[in-house]
Amino acid sequence: MRPAEAREQLRRLLAEKREPFPLDRAALLLAVDEYPNLAPESYEARLDAYAERVGLLTAGEGDPRRRLGALRRVIFEDEGFHGNRDAYYDVRNSYLNEVLDRKLGIPISLAAVVLAVGSRLRWPMAGVNFPAHFLVRYAAPAELLAVDPFHGGLILGVEELAERWRFATAAPAPVAAEMLRPAEPRMILLRMLNNIRLVHTEAGHDRLAELAVEKMRLVHSA
């Protein structure tokens, strides 16, 4: 796919304002400038397959903890996705195609994988700009839960979240709904692009940093 074609597809995708927003498709289109041979459909098919496997394990299952446990088993245990602690600032951690190929990422890019699977299963999930660490929330009727993609899909309840909040902010934890306020998918894209911009700027890759800024403007304006 040519970069110009990818940008036009992204522009149309953002203009549709669909819900649920296809975050994975948008993130893959953002990577085409740097990966001109990227075929988004092949990565989407991989995510489809992950969702199908989780769906088979959770058929007829309504309990959110068991659902999330099945997702954790497929994505983090069987497939081996994990946080890249050794090279956290490797720019590849911020490109969804690289994350899917290498099964390594940072909290927000691994969250994009979890959200892509949850979206295909029509689960009530959303990204969360939690202090110091991006999470994914699952809005169960009786309880708000969270998944920590960087730490193997760890499932967090309210008590664990409150402890993390106090540690990160040195302030009392608010109610769960405030701690797990959903992040808009467009803001997730912008944050991923900003991570890319920062890494390229630090490495002196000025043109690549400029490309990230151009795509941030596109996401803002579309």
Confidence of residue 1 (pLDDT cuts 50, 70, 90): confident
Instruction: Give the pair of three-digit tokens for residue 207.
Output: 């043109």
Could you tell me the pTM of the whole model? 0.95
- Structure confidence at residue 93 (pLDDT): 97
Confidence of residue 18 (pLDDT cuts 50, 70, 90): confident
In the chain, what are the domains? 41-204 (3.10.620)
pLDDT in tens, 102-150: 999 999 999 999 999 999 999 999 999 999 889 999 998 888 999 999 9
- Structure confidence at residue 104 (pLDDT): 97
pLDDT in tens, 180-211: 999 999 999 999 999 999 999 999 999 999 99
- Structure confidence at residue 7 (pLDDT): 87
Which contiguous run of DSSP H or E holds residue 182?
A: strand 182-183
CA 8, CA 118: separation in Å to the nearest integer?
A: 26
- Structure confidence at residue 132 (pLDDT): 82
Where are the alpha helices (H) located in the chain, listed in sequence order? 3-16, 23-30, 40-57, 64-71, 96-102, 107-120, 158-169, 176-179, 185-203, 206-221
CA nearest neighbour of 217 among 7, 4, 27: 7
pLDDT in tens, 62-118: 899 999 999 999 999 999 999 999 999 999 999 999 999 999 999 999 999 999 999
pLDDT in tens, 29-46: 999 989 989 999 999 999
- Residues shown for the chain: 222
Confidence of residue 221 (pLDDT cuts 50, 70, 90): confident
